[in-house]
Structure formats: structure tokens, C-alpha cells
Amino acid sequence: MVHTDKKDTLIIASGQFMCRFGIKTMLSVLGNEPDIIEMNDFKSIIQSLSHENPVNYLIMSDDILPEPKTESVNKLRKLDSEVKIMVIGVDLKKDKALPYQVLNADNQKEVLEELQDFFNASESAADSEMPDVLSDREVDVLRAVAQGYSNKEIAEKLFISANTVITHRKNITEKLGIKTIAGLTVYAIMKKIIEPDDVRM
């Protein structure tokens, strides 16, 4: 996918408000900010994909997916072969038609990792091998940010100026595409840069 200044468009489709709200909350933690369209039935998805306005991503719960689910997903793909689709459900079977899926029983780490893969799979292999894209010093700064230290504390801890800390933080945000401290913290935990117990309250 070619990145431009235009935001990606994401459809979040579920018959349950809490499911839609939970997905939006997790995306904000990860720092993803696409234009979001909410839907609560399969017919609305078909109508949206049939229009000329491009949809980049579709996340839907299986409660609105007609049986057989694989055929329903393939029907959506015929309408728009470019859209990436993730299905959330209770008892999903691994299938080529459903490469991205989240089970309701998955824990927070598993869900966040799947969302990261879903949105970043189109990036190059070099971009996806984190934290290799960060310099050693940036990893040090990320570790301290995730642990809850302020810019001033990080500067004192690493023997650098506060302005240098700010520059490193800006570079980290640009490289990872994660804008929130909560998102950086989740990322650092998933990449084993810190342990969950290292986060200061």
C-alpha cells in the first residue's frame, strides 16, 4: 500500500456496540487513527464495498457474518479485492479466506499483536522487524518512556539533554507509527523491551 497524507478508511462492523467500542479503544492505544465507519449488519458492508469510495480495512464480528462464513467473506472480496478483512468470533477455523482473525477468548497481548500484524502486514519486512529499526539510544528512550519516566527524568537517567530526549521520542513515534504513551508501552511489552512489572504507576 502506498502511504499518502490521506487517511485509511476502516469499517468496524458488529451487532454489538461494546465490540465496536472496544476495537476503537484498542486502535487508539496502538496509535492507529484511520477514518472509521461503524456498521451493524452484513448488508451495510456490501453496500459500502459496492461504492467507489475505497475501503482499506474491514474488521467485523462473526455475529453478522452469514453462514457459510468463508463464502460470505469471499463475497466481500469479490466486491473489493483490495480490502483487508479481519473476523472476530467464538469458534473460527483457520482458512485462507480468513487469514486475520481474533477469538473472543484471546488475551490482551494476543489481540494487540493480531491488530499490529493486520495493519502492518503490508509494510516491508525491514519495517516489521522491530525494534531493529530503532537505534540503541532510541530503544533506551522507548524503554524509559514505557516505564513511565518524564522527559526530564529520562535526560538525567541517560545523561543527555531534555531536547535530545524530545528528538528521540519524535523519531520513535515516526518510525513506529505509534503516537500515544499507552501504545508505546504496549509495544515495548510485546517486543520484550520491558516487562509488565516494569511500568511505574
State how far the Cα of 72 lies from the Cα of 61, in Å rounded to an integer: 13
Question: CA angle, corner 106, sides to 100 and 107, nearest 5?
Answer: 125
State how far the Cα of 132 lies from the Cα of 126, in Å rounded to an integer: 8
Amino acid present at 103 = L
Q: Do domains 9-122 and 126-198 have the same CATH topology?
A: no
Total-model pTM: 0.60
State how far the Cα of 102 lies from the Cα of 61, in Å rounded to an integer: 9
**In CATH, which of 3.20.20.80, 3.40.50.2000, 3.10.520.10, 3.40.50.2300 is domain 9-122?**
3.40.50.2300
Domain boundaries, the chain: 9-122, 126-198
Amino acid present at 185 = T
**In CATH, which of 3.90.245.10, 3.30.460.10, 1.10.760.10, 1.10.10.10 is domain 126-198?**
1.10.10.10
Residue showing cell 487517511: 7
Residue 115: per-residue pLDDT:
81
Query: pLDDT 10s per residue in the chain (201 long)?
Result: 344 456 788 999 999 998 888 888 878 777 677 889 999 999 999 988 887 778 889 999 988 888 888 888 888 888 888 888 888 887 666 666 677 888 877 877 778 778 877 887 544 333 444 445 888 999 999 999 999 999 999 999 999 999 999 999 999 988 888 888 888 888 888 788 888 778 776
